[in-house]
A and B are shown apart, each in its own frame.
Chain A
Amino acid sequence: DAGVTQSPTHLIKTRGQQVTLRCSPKSGHDTVSWYQQALGQGPQFIFQYYEEEERQRGNFPDRFSGHQFPNYSSELNVNALLLGDSALYLCASSSPGVNEQFFGPGTRLTVL
């Protein structure tokens, strides 16, 4: 049983560009959450998707947007990249009625 998978592993972009990160949840999971982890910090919640809708959002600007597909996979899009967007982006999935979240390995984004 595959766990949570994310792609790509690493990504380098320049300021002002746009980026899309992808996540496939663990089998049987229908809820996907995204977190940003800056170097030396704890993860910060970006948003959560369920039934293809954003149902909770953290304190992140509108430059951060997402999508969930019918197969429960998800994308995180960041527009107009800033240097401060450099971080490890973590995807987590959870199953119905369970409050545990399982994390993927993350995508390391570097903005130059």
Chain B
Amino acid sequence: GDSVTQMEGPVTLSEEAFLTINCTYTATGYPSLFWYVQYPGEGLQLLLKATKADDKGSNKGFEATYRKETTSFHLEKGSVQVSDSAVYFCALKRAGGTSYGKLTFGQGTILTVHP
């Protein structure tokens, strides 16, 4: 079945440091890939997405590139802020382009950014 694996966490960085959170997936076909963020006590917010190989999703300084050859979708940000402290989830969904189908999530990576 489909699965998503995220790097072991938590991740602790100083403000303005470079961030990478690794994500690899297993799925048949060509799933859509997503990064969601969850702030304390809240639901999930879509951060960015990519729907086909070599697509780059970007939002709020975060980027991730859909790499079919390595089945990866690593999240990066050049300079993190304290306000980026949250839990980040990588997810995939088959049946791209329709509302049908479930999201399959990784286990999440806790990011803490210190001033």
**Cα distance, A104 to B44, chains bound together (Å):** 7
Tell whether, in the assembled complex, residue A43 and residue B95 are in contact, meaning their CB atoms are under 8 Å apart. no
Count of A residues near B, CB < 8 Å? 31
Given A42-B89, A90-B43, A103-B44: A95 in contact with B105 (beta carbons within 8 A): no
The interface on chain B, measured as residues whose beta carbon lies within 8 A of the other chain's beta carbons, has a size of: 28
Among A30, A56, A100, the most chain B Cβ lie within 10 Å of the Cβ of A100
With A42-B105, A42-B108, A45-B104 already in contact, the answer to whether A97 and B99 are too (CB < 8 A) is: yes
In the complex, are the beta carbons of B107 and A41 less than 8 A apart? yes
Is A33 in contact with chain B by the CB < 8 A criterion? Answer: yes
The answer to the question of B69 belonging to the interface, with a C-beta cut-off of 8 Å to chain A, is no
* Chain B contact residues, CB within 8 Å of chain A: 4, 32, 34, 36, 42-46, 49, 51, 89, 91, 93, 95-108
A/B interface sample: 20 pairs, CB < 8 A: A33-B102, A42-B106, A43-B89, A43-B103, A44-B105, A48-B100, A55-B100, A56-B101, A58-B102, A90-B44, A92-B103, A96-B99, A99-B51, A99-B98, A100-B46, A102-B46, A103-B43, A103-B45, A104-B43, A106-B42
